[in-house]
Amino acid sequence: MMRSPQALAVAVRLPDGSVVLKDEPYRSVGERYPIFKRPLLRGPVMLIESLITGIQALTFSAQALVEEENSQEHEGEEGKKKEPEKLGWVSLTLTMAGAFGLAFLFFGFLPHWLSGLVGLVVGITLTPAHFSFHVIDGIIKVFFLLLYIWGISWLKEIRRVFQYHGAEHKSICAYEAGEPLDLDHVRRHCTCHPRCGTSFLLVVVLVSILIFTVFFPLFPALTRSGVLNALVQTSVKVGLMFPIAAVSYEIIRWGGRQPDHPLAQVLLWPGLFTQRLTALEPDDSQIEVALAALQAVLNREKQGQGANPLAALDNAQTG
């Protein structure tokens, strides 16, 4: 998936080897309401938009595969094809609800609860009022995240997803370097990119430690121990994700513009390192799919802005 301020494209490789492309104009909330393009407001908006477009891209990919399988396997009488089966919104909603529920459990409540237990093990009472509590919480979250990524990377299907992720990064890097968008030039680029969502996640963890450390001591009632209190505190943390996302996005944006700055390299290094797990080396067929989506986005940007779509694609999102 490739997205720019004026275009959205999703390319999918079908089992028969062909590539199906969803290419449509796109207008972000920031383009419609300029106030949401201002610093600290654009981060949460971009996060929500990325979530929505990501779900739409996954839905399109799954639906394209379902329709392809139906066209090959399900034929009615006299050779007429049956009406393709559609992905129901109920199953999609339940799947997303389950995913969010597991994320809340393993990356929200469980690290928070374990942070308090660590204090009991070492003989110290730790609550969200303590800086050490949030440092331990952040370390556990990063450990769970890396363990999860490493675990699913052994699945064949997920490994292919990670390879497509690498193909997207390579294509964007070639474009930003001003090189021709062909296999020979794209192959030589790295699979890592500073604006990747993986980098964003780890910056979020670091920023959350600072914000939680400042926030919770201001509200003593939210720092009590106990499982029920832990659930309430974790829910409050979820609500604080919006200001955390705002600050994190500005860091990622600045780091993407100043990749050679020493501070940017320090802040973005953990995310770039983690991309070695989430953005794997693709094969040529996967690069071709990424280039199909990128070319579609660039074509729409050229139609909308003339001969220089680079400025429009400056904040391009890949999924």
Residue 86 has pLDDT above 60, yes or no: no
CA-to-CA distance for 152 and 97, rounded, in angstroms?
20
Residue 301 included in any domain = yes
Residue 81 included in any domain = no
Structural domain of 57: 1-68+292-314
Does residue 27 sit in the same domain as residue 4? yes
Phi and psi at residue 317, in whole multiples of 5°? -110, 135
pLDDT at site 112: 94
Q: What is the pTM of this model?
A: 0.81
Q: How many other CB atoms sit within 10 Å of the CB of residue 142?
A: 18
Residue 84 included in any domain = no
CA angle (45, 3, 252) in 5-degree steps: 55
pLDDT at site 56: 83
**Looking at the DSSP assignment, which residues form a beta bridge with residue 19?**
13
Mean pLDDT of the chain: 84
Among the ranges given (70-84, 85-99, 123-137, 303-317), the one the predictor scored with the smallest mean pLDDT: 303-317
Q: No. of H helices and E strands in the chain? A: 12, 4
Give the strands of the sheet with 7-13, arranged side by side.
Answer: 19-25, 7-13, 2-4, 317-318
- Give the pLDDT confidence of 235-272 residue by residue, as tens digits: 999 999 989 999 998 988 888 788 788 888 887 888 88
Residue 298 has pLDDT above 80, yes or no: yes
Helix (H, G, I), strand (E, B) or coil at 150: helix
CA-to-CA distance for 91 and 97, rounded, in angstroms?
10
Q: How confident is the model at residue 218 (pLDDT cuts 50, 70, 90)?
A: very high
Residue 70, burial from CB neighbour count under 10 angstroms (0-12, 13-18, 19+): middle
Does residue 250 sit in the same domain as residue 297? no
Residue 175 has pLDDT above 70, yes or no: yes
The total number of structural domains in the chain stands at 2
Give the percent of the chain with pLDDT over 70.
88
Does residue 6 sit in the same domain as residue 148? no
Whether 4 contacts 318, CB under 8 Å: no
Q: Say how many residues make up the chain.
A: 319
Residue 222 included in any domain = yes
Residue 93 included in any domain = no
Among the ranges given (63-77, 89-103, 133-147), the one the predictor scored with the smallest mean pLDDT: 63-77
